[in-house]
Structure 1
């Protein structure tokens, strides 16, 4: 009987420990206005809706909104250490849209995205790169230099890739705010639905 009680106590402690570990799992979304909830009601931003979707699928994870409107890849790199705490287990990096809108050098964007990814991976943090595409009015040469950045960096640093963060939303007036660039609440829903499988793959990779 004493042995049975001891085994049950050990099992309870083990399960409690696993539960605490799961509850403590932290996913940080490092990005710009596309994830910061720009002009959206409270709770309608990407991190908040992603949190709800993950919870609905049984994942115990805290999704942290580290989005700053107007941020470039340089801005994200400069605030990396205080935006992504030591307790972060995984990070979604969504940066570069403002670089392209401003016509900044793709080479600079590449270096920044690579530095962010490399520093996170060096700390054992799993990364999902949410890619961006250059506006086509900047010309084919710019697009050819900018578009491959995310796939190249993901491959080089064993990070996961979601090729285009605005997939299914870009240029659709029904899914964007009046400015035509930022997703509305329905647009965020589409983004969350589309990226969710890759986010679940990120969680599985980080928890393995």
Structure 2
């Protein structure tokens, strides 16, 4: 089928108008991006200007739309803690939520099934509020034993598939076990590590923004 040049121009013009309206709307009303996790995203050991929320905000400075990054992460939180405060966090009405909880569950050796149930409930609540959920996974070290590692590591891809979520397989990609990207405790990302997380997370958030358009 041959499409006339006139129809092509009309389709292009319509597409540009849609993009203009979308970006214009969010220039006046910023896209709310919520970071919902524990110390890995909260900014443990870092200044306010060095945390993940601040770094992500800088990554969006050159875009045609504005964002408001909400740091709703709390150091020490387990998945149960996250579930207990999710209703309160919904009051911020986030458009996109990056969920990354479970690391503290793993460090305490908690049953992965309980972690999965808590995360499932958190995701359900955000989905019901029409937020786009990005699930960032965690991984257990070998020291927790092979059985535990298999069960824990499997939590995140299973939930991502169940709810058709945008899925970042491992929040600490290129950071875990890399001393130059970690603080002195070798657990939390330093300033350099945060820049890497922000860079790695950025395309997943762009995908989330793309879903908002649909």
User: Scaled by the length of structure 2, what TM-score is found?
Assistant: 0.86
Residues 35-184 of structure 1 correspond to what in structure 2 (within 5 A)? 35-85=41-91, 87-184=93-190
Q: Deviations over 1:99-134 (max 9, x none)?
A: 111111100000011111111112211100010001
Q: Deviations over 1:16-55 (max 9, x none)?
A: 9943566332111101001111010221111111111122
The CA deviation at 1:56 is 2.9
The CA deviation at 1:60 is 1.2
Residues 61 and 31 of structure 1: CA distance in aligned 2, closer, same or farther (over 3 Å): same
Q: Are the aligned partners of 2:38 and 2:78 in contact in 1 as well (CA < 8 Å)?
A: yes
Greater shift, 97-106 or 114-123, is seen at 114-123
CA distance in 2, matches of 1:48, 1:195: 13
Q: Secondary structure at the match of 1:55?
A: coil
CA distance in 2, matches of 1:86, 1:177: 31
CA distance in 2, matches of 1:177, 1:100: 20
CA distance in 2, matches of 1:135, 1:22: 44
CA distance in 2, matches of 1:144, 1:120: 27
**Alignment coverage as a number of residue pairs:** 196
User: Scaled by the length of structure 1, what TM-score is found?
Assistant: 0.88
Q: Deviations over 1:61-90 (max 9, x none)?
A: 111000100000110010001123252111
Instruction: Quote the RMSD (CA, aligned, Å).
Output: 2.0
Structure 2: state its 5+ residue gaps. Answer: 1-16
Q: Secondary structure at the match of 2:161?
A: helix
